[in-house]
Chain A
Amino acid sequence: MNDLTPNLTLVVVIVALTAGGVYLLLERSLTRIVLGLILIGNAANLLLLVAGGAAGRPPIVTQDVSADAMAEGMADPLAQAMVLTAIVITLGLTAFLLAMSYRSWQLHRHDEVADDVEDRRIARLAARDRPSVRGADTDEGMDLDSEAGETRDETDEPAPAPGGAP
């Protein structure tokens, strides 16, 4: 019914936005994650527009003209309505995420997403088990917490841990 040949520029923009968004989403800092989500959200909105077909006349139907004649060359209004809804939703979520990263900054002076408590507990268990594997005297003088601190990630450490988790 509509011309569905996608606009190449839009497709390239979608690809670029998605790639950048995914990259940012994989970061630890909540602010960057928010930026990444905004980019992917915009990419999805553009995709909806592309799915709605080629651009055309404004989708306004007046009473006196027959709907079929008006529909010729008219842009798809549904895609626009959906994009509008999606934009509003993304806006609200962005506001919420920003508030959350601000709250995180209030609490911790950073907005990095911390590890699961369970991960921490398992890291502790692993740290406790390790000496008994290597022999009791290997890691002498290290208490559990400092050991677990090493096993964790960059969140708590000023410098990145060499080589990641041992």
Chain B
Amino acid sequence: MSWLVPLPVILPLLGAGLTLALFGRARLQKFVAVTTLAAVLGVSVALLLAVRDGPLVLEIGDWAGRGDPAVGIVVVADRLSALMLTVSSAVTLCVLLYSHAQGDDEETTAKRIGPVSIFHPTYLILTAGVANAFVSGDLFNIYVGFEVLLAASYVLLTLGGTAERIRAGAVYVVVAVTSSLLFLIGIAVAYGATGTLNLAQMGERMADVDPGVRLLIGMLLLVAFGIKAAIFPLAFWLPDSYPTAPAPVTAVFAGLLTKVGVYAIIRTRALLFPAGGLDDVLMWMALATMIVGILGAVAQDDIKRLLSFTLISHIGFMVFGVALATSDAWSAAIYYVVHHITVQTALFLVAGLVERYGGTTSLTRLGGMAKAAPVIAVLFFVPAINLAGIPPLSGFVGKVGLLEAGAQVGTPVAYVLIGGSVVTSLLTLYAMVKAWNKAFWQPAPRPLPARRVPLGMMWPAAALVVASLGLTVAAGPLYSYTTQTAIDLSERDPYVDAVLPDPYRAAVPPGTGEP
């Protein structure tokens, strides 16, 4: 089954080439893009089922037969990768369908989404980059995955090249390139210290590295990933750049790009730095991320900006979970990542619906939509209270898991963080209720344009909202899955054993058999 592992990277790249060749033939491009992403989703689900027996490893170029499995690039799918792949491909597929319906509207084709011919190849390359970051078993390959997805994101963010997008894009691109360079410097130092970039082998050798150098590597990687994940002192590029992009682009960025950073933090924390060392720093950063982010959200009066700030704020929850560094905490953090990808993407899509209907996302100009557009109102309300963590919903499950894990650790810092989480949840509720009141309940200050919202935009957003409800319904199985994931992560052995077997053992772990 290990031949499945690189498919989530290869398929979108092939699709991207094909859609580029079909330049100008929008209908065919759409068909190819949707088919590709649906296939990726299928592969991801298959991986999700296949990795229950242990991680799947594919050594590209089959260098294993020539001595050292760590010489070539390996792609690895373990539980964490498979879960992230599944969620991300489901979300990208929904957003793609949404963007199609948005593009169907003749007047907005040119204005909102820019030249559609470019959109599809770029979007597929973005997916390939995200998938590459998830399945890579090699630090440099993670860097390449980051670069691929970032390069695609630069293009998507500046689609159409309007003045506003160029301004936002300049900030975004420069910050992202800087973080990539820091990542590259971190890779250079790590390579100099360990002589390998294979994550499993690095993990083995990292124990012998001088603690000071290890700290340096940890800091460099943490800053690089922290910028991508939008952790507090490194997050200010996000609310500045995301809201100017077209709604589907913002949605997929908000859902996925920051989570790729979180994924990288979890992965490196588990494999390379099992001793921690930066956990306390991460704790305080998590606290600051939560509080500063949510205070920013409270101050905003534009839905997209408000959501961007809640996005930053809730990254804090995941970082909190990572920093607690028990398997319970990681389990909760991974569950929270899944929850947050779904909910945050849904909210940004609904913000796009609001913008389409009301012509603006400014809370001072919106109003009365609960009566005028009840479907949009429901679609906003459910993920909004889910984000705030109202009991039966998945946000609540994730938060309770984190708080429990924090209480189990029981250090004073953990209790401070628990307090911070609760305050942040309440403030999230406040921000969401404020947005709800202003956009949906209060009478509109002046009549909204009430433009028709295409059904094709409505149902992908609805599908994501339903999926977020599904996370609640399926919380039991999902949570036991993330618990097993976290145990695998903290034990490290399943991953390392799968990647670094005896030099002449077959790459396929026993039990999975030939396809």
Residues of A within 8 A of B (CB): 1-2, 4, 25, 30, 33, 37, 40-41, 44-45, 47-48, 50-52, 67, 78-79, 82, 85-86, 89, 92-93, 96-97, 100-101, 103-104, 107-108, 113-114, 116-118
Contact = CB atoms under 8 A, between A and B. Distances in A.
B158 A48 contact: no
Interface string B379-413: 00000000000000000000000000000000000
Interface of B: 66-67, 140, 144, 147, 151, 154-155, 158, 161, 163-164, 166-167, 169-171, 173-174, 177-178, 180-181, 184-185, 187-189, 191-192, 195, 197, 239-240, 305
Nearest to B237: A116
Given A50-B192, A113-B167, A116-B240, A44 B173 contact: no
Contact of A48 (B171, B174, B187): B187
- Which of A45, A67, A89 has the most B CB atoms < 10 Å from its CB? A89
Contacts of A67: 66-67
A103 B191 contact: no
A118 B240 contact: yes
Main secondary structure of the interface of B (DSSP, over half): helix
Contacts of B192: 4, 50-52
5 contacts: A41-B184, A45-B184, A51-B189, A96-B154, A113-B167
Given A51-B188, A52-B191, A104 B170 contact: yes
Contact of B191 (A1, A41, A48): A48
B206 to A, nearest CB: 15
B240 A93 contact: no
A101 B174 CA distance: 12
A30 B140 contact: no
Given A33-B174, A50-B192, A86-B184, A93 B151 contact: yes
A21 B151 CA distance: 21
Give me the 3 closest cross-chain CB pairs, A-B, nearest first: A51-B192, A47-B188, A48-B188
A83 to B, nearest CB: 9
Contact of A44 (B161, B164, B166, B184): B184
Nearest to B185: A44
A131 B130 CA distance: 51
A50 B184 CA distance: 13
Contacts, number: 88
A18 to B, nearest CB: 9
A113 B177 contact: no
A103 B239 contact: no
Name which of B154, B167, B177 has the most chain A CB atoms within 10 A of its CB: B177
Contacts of B169: 100
Contacts of B163: 107-108
Contact of B166 (A25, A47, A107): A107
A155 B421 CA distance: 40
A126 to B, nearest CB: 14
Contacts of B185: 44, 47
Instruction: Give the interface centre of A45, A52, A85, A93 by most chain B CB atoms within 10 Å.
Output: A93
Contacts of A1: 195
Contact of A51 (B66, B166, B178, B191): B191
Nearest to B184: A44
A113 B140 CA distance: 31
Contacts of A41: 181, 184
Given A96-B151, A113-B170, A118-B305, 15 more contacts: A37-B174, A37-B178, A40-B181, A45-B184, A52-B191, A67-B67, A78-B197, A79-B191, A82-B187, A82-B197, A85-B140, A89-B144, A89-B147, A92-B151, A97-B177
B45 to A, nearest CB: 31
A37 B151 contact: no
A134 B501 CA distance: 74
B189 A100 contact: no
Given A30-B170, A44-B181, A118 B140 contact: no
A37 B239 contact: no
B241 to A, nearest CB: 9
Given A37-B174, A100-B173, A114 B187 contact: no
A85 B155 CA distance: 20
A104 B147 CA distance: 23
A118 B66 CA distance: 57
A107 B167 CA distance: 11
Contacts of A2: 195
Given A37-B177, A37-B178, A44-B188, A82 B240 contact: no
Contacts of A113: 167, 170-171, 174
A55 to B, nearest CB: 15
